[in-house]
């Protein structure tokens, strides 16, 4: 379990590098760091449990049980907090994404990240393609279109024009 959690934490940290412009708050990495710390603690606790079992120590097994109960309570608490604050996280991420979309000009690093995100997640805009109509890029280009990264992969002749929403 500790190895699995370590992998998940490392994967989240590695994935963060692709989306760090959207998650400007560095505390977004906090869950991944916590997962890795929990993995280390679980490994140590597992060793304590194994040693207590091999030595048939009642005190060691009692300590192991108490630690497992504390971890269970912490997991339930984390689940409840995640459930309670999910809307706040959603609102914060959408606000940050809107600010990055506002900086889109097709050339800067933020633009590259926006294009990458839309292509990887097969999406367009924060909620849908109409989000682009309020950006400076959309108003400055004047061609009534969204970036080509909004186009569906199977759409061959997609130009990003809003008069062809089925291709976005």
Looking at residue 40, the DSSP 8-state letter turns out to be H
Position 150 confidence tier, pLDDT thresholds 50, 70, 90: confident
pLDDT digits (tens, 9 = 90+) for 69-114: 988 898 889 888 888 888 887 888 788 778 878 888 878 777 887 8
Q: For the chain, give every domain's residue range.
A: 25-103, 105-167
Stated pTM of the model:
0.54
**16-75 tens-digit pLDDT:** 776 665 555 566 677 778 888 888 888 888 888 888 888 888 888 888 889 889 888 988
Q: Residue 57 in contact with residue 19, Cβ under 8 Å?
A: no
Query: In the predicted model, is pLDDT for residue 167 greater than 60?
Result: yes
Distances (CA, A) of 10 to 3, 33, 62, 77: 11, 8, 32, 23
Is the per-residue pLDDT at 129 higher than 60? yes
């Amino acid at each position: 379990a500790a190895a699995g959690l370590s992998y998940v934490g490392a994967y989240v940290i590695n994935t963060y590098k692709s989306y760090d412009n959207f998650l400007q708050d560095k505390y977004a990495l906090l869950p991944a760091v916590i997962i890795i710390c929990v993995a280390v603690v679980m490994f140590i606790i597992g060793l304590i449990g194994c040693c207590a079992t091999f030595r048939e120590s009642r005190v060691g097994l009692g300590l192991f049980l108490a630690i497992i109960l504390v971890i269970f309570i912490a997991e339930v608490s984390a689940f409840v907090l995640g459930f309670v604050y999910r809307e706040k996280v959603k609102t914060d991420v959408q606000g940050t994404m809107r600010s990055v979309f506002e900086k889109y000009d097709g050339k800067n690093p933020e633009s590259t990240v926006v294009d990458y995100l839309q292509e990887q997640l097969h999406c367009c805009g924060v909620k849908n393609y109409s989000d682009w109509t309020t950006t400076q890029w959309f108003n400055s280009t004047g061609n009534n279109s969204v970036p080509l990264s909004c186009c569906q992969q199977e759409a061959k002749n997609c130009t990003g024009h809003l008069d062809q929403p089925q291709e976005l």
